Amino acid sequence: MNYSRRNFLKAAGSGVALTALGGGSMLAAVASPAPGLPVPMTKEKAIFILNGKPLVAEYEARTTLWEVIAVKLGLTGTTRSCNRASCGACSVLIDGTPFYSCHTLAMEAAGKKIFTIEGLGDEKNLHPLQKVGYLYMAADCGFCTAGWSVTAKALLDKNQNPSEDEVRSALAGHICRCAAYPAIVRTVMDTGAVLRGEAEV
Ligand code: FES
Ligand code: FES
């Protein structure tokens, strides 16, 4: 007998199969999972109002909002980084409030207004946040950019003249691995000045 990890796994696998076969009909076992075993996920279908457009997606109960936005609906601007509700890269707005889309279930956002970085502006029509951010080089690698940009928009929608403390507090849930924090904070404050009509960009 060759004692190897591969043979051990093979033996363990046949043990499982024999246990299952020896316990009665396989068909009956599939139709009625033993208590405590996970039951198959059910599929849901819902409308997601993404940047003003109603889009239909099918998803399982466990599917996150990020998976619906980026994988199922193809809006890949929202970055998923830590995937554990720590960094803020995946932030989107739901009815105007920032949420980590990696830790929000799709079903929680179904039927609500979702705002992503694609809704902010594009190459031909940049939002002032993007123009000012470009001037101050507020994006280095860019991994955090989509997240803090939508959070900053939510702040500026409510308050076009935030103090530095208010900006730092609003963006507290965002980690920038490139440490571009001074440029990011200045971008949000100076964008406020543009939106108030006190500066041009
Ligand atoms: S990827 Fe969602 S918080 Fe980091
Ligand atoms: S610019 Fe690189 S993580 Fe923020």
Predicted confidence (pLDDT) per residue in 157-194, tens digit: 999 999 999 999 999 999 999 999 999 999 999 999 99
Q: What band does 149 get if pLDDT is binned at 50, 70 and 90?
A: very high
For 106, the token pair is 């799709």
Angle at alpha carbon of residue 79, lines to 178 and 108, rounded to 5°:
130
Closest CA to 157 of 109, 96, 113: 96
Q: Does the pLDDT of residue 22 top 80, yes or no?
A: no
Residue 28 inside a domain? The answer is no
Residues 103 and 151 grouped into a single domain: no
Whether 137 lines ligand 2, by a CB cut-off of 6 Å, is: no
Residues 49 and 113 grouped into a single domain: yes
**At 150, is the secondary structure helix, strand, or coil?**
helix
Residue 69 inside a domain? The answer is yes
Token pair 């499982």: residue: 16
Residue 175 inside a domain? The answer is yes
Ligand 1 atom, smallest distance to 81 CA: 1
One-letter identity of residue 198: E
Query: Which one of 64, 69, 76, 90 would you pick to mutate in the ligand 1 pocket, going by the greatest count of ligand atoms within 8 A of its CB?
Result: 90
Whether 82 lines ligand 2, by a CB cut-off of 6 Å, is: no
Whether 49 lines ligand 2, by a CB cut-off of 6 Å, is: no
Residues 6+ apart with CB under 8 A from 201: 128, 131, 132, 135, 190, 194
Residue 38 inside a domain? The answer is no
**Range in 21-25, 50-54, 111-115, 170-174 the model is least confident about:** 21-25
**Model pLDDT, residue 24:** 43
**pLDDT one-digit tens code per residue, 50-70:** 999 999 999 999 999 999 999
